[in-house]
Every structure is written in C-alpha cells, then in structure tokens.
A and B are shown apart, each in its own frame.
Chain A
C-alpha cells in the first residue's frame, strides 16, 4: 500500500479533524471505473460458446454467443437442427440481445455514478452488475432448455430424439455430435468485473464510512 500512496504529502481532512491519505479515496473510484471498463469491453467478445464435433465435421461446428448477436456456423447448425424441428438459433433470446447493449452501458454508468455517491447507496448502484453474470447464465440455461425441449415430433427426425438440455458447460452428446460448451472471454470479464466491484465497494466503504461517521458525530455534538 505504501507504493500506491500517491501524493503522500497531501492529506484529506475529515470533519472530525482526523486525516486520510488521498489514495484511500482514489482506490475505490479506480476499481469501480476499471470494472465498468471491463464490462464495456465484454460486449465485443463472446460470452459463451459451443463446439459440436461429428465425423463429417472434422473442424467442428462452433457457435459463439455475444451479448448482442451470434457468430460462427449458425447457418449450418440451423440446417442440421431443422431435421429435429428445432427453431433457428437466432430465435432464442431475441429480447435479451436487443436490449443488451443499452443495459450494459447503463450498468457501467451506474458503476461510474457509484464513484460520486459517497455512502452505502453506491452498493445499491452496483447491484445490477453484481447480479448480471448469474442472470446471464440463468437466461442462457432457460434458452438452451427451451431449444432442447422444442423438438417438433412432425419433423424428419423429431421422433428419434428425446427432449434434452444442451450442457451449459462441459461435454454432452446429441446424435452423432459430441458437444463441448465453454465460457467465453466476455463472461470471464463480467465475472472479473463483479469481483473487482466487490473489492471496490469494500475500499469504498473503508474510505467513506469514516466520513459518514464523522459527520454523524459532528451532527450529534452540535445538537
């Protein structure tokens, strides 16, 4: 912490006359801003992916899920899925994808706002970010479940495959395909942002609670 002590000759004077280093206040702001940045970056990389291997697909078929769109062999996976009457991949999570960009920007802005809110409300502002990865995964699970359970019995091979839920992470088997699902760098960034937000809030509390307490104390004294 000594190394991080910026401008050691500058002290912050609290209402009760005690002092703190400048770093005490810069650190939580920096952490919250960093988390906000990570969240913004995460929009440009995939959150989740699945690769399907079969003998006639030596390179596998991959779908990469971004918060706003899908990439990869979507057309080919759809072409195969139609045999069991699955809806096109693009139909899952349409609402979520349409609002994802604006929501994430809003979440990130709330974090930045937390930098300027010097009391416990900063924690409330950070709540959407903290909950976000879990909500993402829960929604993804719901979408995957819906896919696997929307097999059309009237389709060519619909009667040959029982409803299933593709794995959220790890390996699974569907027909001749071995599937491997994995988190993408976007999800890692989002989870990392959560951890950094928690750390940031801890330092935020360490920095601003004394001020809040000192104010209370002064108020009590003057009363």
Chain B
C-alpha cells in the first residue's frame, strides 16, 4: 500500500511539474515523496485523497485559474470563490447592506439600494438565485454580472471592474421571479423569468379568479453595456398563462433569437390545504406533463419596437393575445414536474429535467422549427399553440431520481444534478457531439454520489458556447456529516468534482462549506477573462457613477468645513494615517454633506470611515470618493475613525465630530 502511494505521488508530482508547476524552485525534490507518504500514512489518506490534495492545493502566492460567482440565496449577496482551491475571495453585497464594503451604511451603496425599494419601502435583503455573467457571442466576457432576487422580483447589475453592485431595478409589474437573470448571447437583454403567478400590475385579485386574472410575466431588460445599466425604457414584458414558469436559458448559434423556460403548475392549482384542497405540493404535480415555453424574443423585440406593447406601470407589456398572434410563444409538453431548461453549447438542443421523472428530455431546435413551420398545432386553454412532444423530442436519457439542472463540458458530455439520488450524472450527448466521447450518444455514463441533496450544478464555463471541462461543482443543499457540528443550522456543501477523464472516472476532490449563504446557481469563468481595476483609475472616483466626481477635493490644503446657513459641507481628504480635517464642528440641526476622497494610489491601502452614533461606515479604497449626507440631529461628542487597518498608525487615524447643542 505504501509503495502504491509513493508511486502515485511520484507520478503525480512529475506530472504536475511537467504541467508547468513551480518553475522557480527545482523540480520536486526526491525526498518529498517519502515525507509526503509519511504524512499520508499518518493522516490515513488514500491515494485518491492525496491526488485530490495535489489537484486543489494552491501554494501561497499562486492564484487560481478559475473564479466562481455563486448566488448567496437568502443572504442577498454574491460569493466570489477561487477554483480549484475553493477559497472565498470576496462577498459582494447586492440586495443586502454589507458593512465591510461600506455598502448601505451612508455612502454611494445607499443610492444603489434605493433602486431596490418595493413600493417606496426599503427591502434590505434578497433571495439571490441565478448569477449570470455578461456574454459576447455566447461566451463570458468578464464585464458584468447580473443576479435576480426571487422574493421581490428585482434584478441587480454588478460591474466586474470593481466587483460592486451598481444598479438594482424593481420589476414594476411582478412581486416575485425565478428564471433570472439569464442573458442573451450578446447580453442584449437580461431576462427575468417569473415564478408564482399573480395579477399583472401586481394588484389584488381573489384566488377563485386565478384562471382569469392571474398571469405569468416574463421581462426582457435591455442592457446598455456602455452605461453599464439596465434601461427600463427599452425593456418589455410578455404576458403568459398563469403556469409557474421556472428556469430559462437563451438559445445560441442556430437557436439565437429564441428563449426557453420550463414551467410547472399547468394544473392551475391554488392551494388551500386548510380548506381541504390539495396542497400546492400535490396540486401542482398532478399532470403528467407541463409546458416548455418557447419564445421568439427577436420577434417580441420587433413587436415592442413597433409600439404594440401596452404600458402598465410605465412598462411595455405584450399581451398574451398579441404574443400568440405574432408567433412569439409556443409550448411543448415536458414530463412530470419539470425543472431546468438548458441549451447545449452549440445551441442545437434544449435539455429539461423532471423532478419526478427519471429522465432528461432533449428537445431539438431544428424539430421545433420544423413543427412550427408545418403548423396545424393544437392550442392550450389560453390559446397558445402546443407542439406535440414526439414532434420535437430528440432523445430521452434515463439518469435516475430527481434530475434538475444540466451543464456541459468540452468532451461532449452533459452533467445533470440528481436531487433525490444525491448524485451527479454524466451522460453522453448525441448528434454533433457523438464523436467527442468514446460512448454512443444519449447514454448515462456515470453516476457520482455527492453529499447531499444536490440542487444546481455548475461547470467551468459550462453553460456557454465553449465549455472548458476540467471541473464541475455540485451545489449541495445538505451537508449533514461533512463538517464539524456548528449547531442546528448547517453550512451548505460545495463539492468540487474532477471531470478531466472520459468515461466513469469523475471524482469528488474537495468539500467547501458555505456558512453564510444558501447558494442556488453559480457560474465559473476563466480567471484571466476578468480585468478588474487594481486601484480606481483616477483620484476622486465616484464608484457608483464610475466616473470622477467633479466636486471631489483631492488637495489636503483645500480640505475643510464650509458653512452656508444651516448647510455644512465637509470636504475631507483621506490618506495614511490621517483625515484632513481632524476636527469637524457643527450646530445641532445642521444638514451635513460630507465628501471624503482617498488620495491613496497604492494597491490595498484602503481606509474605512466610521462615524459613531450615526450608523455610518464606509470603505474608501484608493482613489475613491464617497459622499454621505445626514442631519446632525444628535448633539454631543462623536468620533470618526478608520475602520480598515491601514498602517502602523491606523489607531491614530481619527477625528472628532462635535455637535453643539
């Protein structure tokens, strides 16, 4: 056994060195394998464990080749994780204030959060679901990230130049969403698919009018890449039957211009267990099939631009009748409680899982087009043409229990999460992918157990036009016995899976606990596609506008306190290890505008700014200008100080804020 471990380490280390491992030091010394073998023996590590360690360990000073953006679920945040070492690099505050980034504690983040008000009411959390990176020609371009808040039907834009949230937009006509924030192949639109039907315009209607008054509503948010913002005036919505549309994906290549969402509750269940009705869990799963929604979004865009949308709450809505008449919307049946709707890299097929069906069903875009052309389609209760399943189905692959989501690699394999089986299924794609792998097409190749209850699954660039292969991450909902007990609320478990070898050679490499969020989807991008700022490009940078603040004071000699009646302006310059000015005195009742500019240019020389008693905390990175505004309505002696350890004299970086009664 010992010999086997040694030989495996020798092979692995040689391989590693050959693959461009440490180049500065000599090739791994001959003494190491013996030592390593001793450590492995001591810790009871199997050869597989040792191999997994070698594949994931990242020596100090080396950076990972992949970055994963994971939703934070109810934390309302986005997690940035380096792969394969599975180290958290950053938590980005999105819908939830986040004090480390000074997000939502007085600075420009408050303006962003303001955009997320629901009917004028602050909602300071979100249920972030599906992060989506901006794409160019169906590939991640590393410029922006979008994420939706299921709880309140909001979409956020994160700028990847500084990894911070720039915009939150509230859907004016919906109160919840799910199938977002998916992008079209050139990020023309960020699409927010619905979930639970409600009256359009988000009004009251009793549930016995469900069929007539309740509707689904899909939103196409126009993204203005130059401004880095969603433009609601150029955006539109399409009214849908009150089925619960669920997960979506944009077509690409041959299917560019089309968009696909699965749905459930074609039963139109309205719940009411307390009234003796079937509960939702039973009522929504009665039918053998629900409908895959097939949208021609380019056609919808034309109709919107022709002014055929009705304005509801300021937003153009294409009603269902128009959508049907203009050939924008089609249905195709999908088996039992479908979930997921994932387009293959080449855009030829759409894969749909069935929570209560052991198969994934693969739809051919070509066949969909042929069936639409042939016409003569039956209609559902709302008049939407339904294409029979046998006319559009390319294949069905039996994978196991609870297939949910599917991602892809570069070898013609698909990977589907199996919730009930707690497994990752690798299966072979057919058609044009058949030659890429040794197996015949449309066959289950391997089922890898994961721990436990996998929800989403993600692969390196695995939902783009050119997946990378290498890694899959199982986003497991339960961790049960994987980590030390930290009480009844357990961390989630991200499991890194090695998918490098063909056939049934997938292996779990690493368990990463997520102890601050319950992620749903995640996307993995090649790290070198991201080109963030090292420091803000100019001193006086307004990070919300991503431009220089014309009012920023960058010269300490010009810093100071100005008074105009009851309005006090504080122009403050921030640099190691002092604020200028260090004394600010106002009268109780004064309105204070306090503008702080860091004139630092050194990477990582970040300062904080906390104002005791006023709920203010900022993160002022090199070059950044932040503006806070408040009424000095509390008299007394207050201190402000730097909250980010900046220098040897960090503790001395303070000032007094005196409010005269």
Q: Do A and B bind each other?
A: yes
The proximity string for A residues 69-99 relative to B, scoring 1 for CB distances below 8 Å and 0 otherwise, is: 0000101100100010000000000000000
Give Cα A156–Cα B653 distance, bound, in whole angstroms.
Answer: 12
B576 within 8 A of A: yes
Flag if B649 contacts A79 (CB, 8 Å).
Answer: no
Interface residues of B in 577-608 (CB under 8 A from A): 577, 599-602, 605
Flag if A76 contacts B577 (CB, 8 Å).
Answer: no
B418 within 8 A of A: no
**Which residues of chain B are within 8 angstroms of A75 by Cβ–Cβ distance?**
599-602
Interface residues of A in 144-193 (CB under 8 A from B): 156
Per a CB cutoff under 8 Å, which of A76, A83, A156 touches B602?
A: A76
Question: Smallest distance from the beta carbon of B499 to chain A beta carbons, Å?
Answer: 35
**Which residues of chain B are within 8 angstroms of A83 by Cβ–Cβ distance?**
576-577, 649
Which B-chain residue is minimally distant from A56 (CB atoms)? B604
Query: Dominant SS at the A interface?
Result: helix
Give Cα A156–Cα B649 distance, bound, in whole angstroms.
Answer: 9
Give Cα A165–Cα B601 distance, bound, in whole angstroms.
Answer: 26
Question: Smallest distance from the beta carbon of B602 to chain A beta carbons, Å?
Answer: 5
Give Cα A73–Cα B535 distance, bound, in whole angstroms.
Answer: 13
**Which residues of chain B are within 8 angstroms of A79 by Cβ–Cβ distance?**
575-576, 600, 602, 605
Question: Smallest distance from the beta carbon of B642 to chain A beta carbons, Å?
Answer: 14
Question: Smallest distance from the beta carbon of B641 to chain A beta carbons, Å?
Answer: 16
Interface centre among B576, B599, B649 (most CB of A within 10 A): B576
Flag if B649 contacts A76 (CB, 8 Å).
Answer: no
Which A-chain residue is minimally distant from B649 (CB atoms)? A156
**Which residues of chain A are within 8 angstroms of B575 by Cβ–Cβ distance?**
79
Interface residues of B in 52-102 (CB under 8 A from A): none
Give Cα A156–Cα B575 distance, bound, in whole angstroms.
Answer: 14
Give Cα A76–Cα B600 distance, bound, in whole angstroms.
Answer: 7
Give Cα A118–Cα B345 distance, bound, in whole angstroms.
Answer: 80
Question: Smallest distance from the beta carbon of B152 to chain A beta carbons, Å?
Answer: 43
Give Cα A73–Cα B600 distance, bound, in whole angstroms.
Answer: 11
Question: Smallest distance from the beta carbon of A83 to chain B beta carbons, Å?
Answer: 7
Which A-chain residue is minimally distant from B604 (CB atoms)? A56
**Which residues of chain A are within 8 angstroms of B602 by Cβ–Cβ distance?**
73, 75-76, 79
Flag if A156 contacts B577 (CB, 8 Å).
Answer: yes
**Which residues of chain B are within 8 angstroms of A76 by Cβ–Cβ distance?**
601-602, 605
Q: Enumerate chain B interface residues (CB-CB to A < 8 A).
A: 575-577, 599-602, 605, 649, 652
Q: Enumerate chain A interface residues (CB-CB to B < 8 A).
A: 73, 75-76, 79, 83, 156
Top 7 A-B pairs ranked by shortest CB distance?
A: A76-B602, A75-B601, A79-B576, A156-B649, A79-B575, A76-B601, A79-B600
Can you pick out 19 interface pairs between chain A and chain B where the beta carbons lie within 8 Å of each other?
Answer: A73-B602, A75-B599, A75-B600, A75-B601, A75-B602, A76-B601, A76-B602, A76-B605, A79-B575, A79-B576, A79-B600, A79-B602, A79-B605, A83-B576, A83-B577, A83-B649, A156-B577, A156-B649, A156-B652
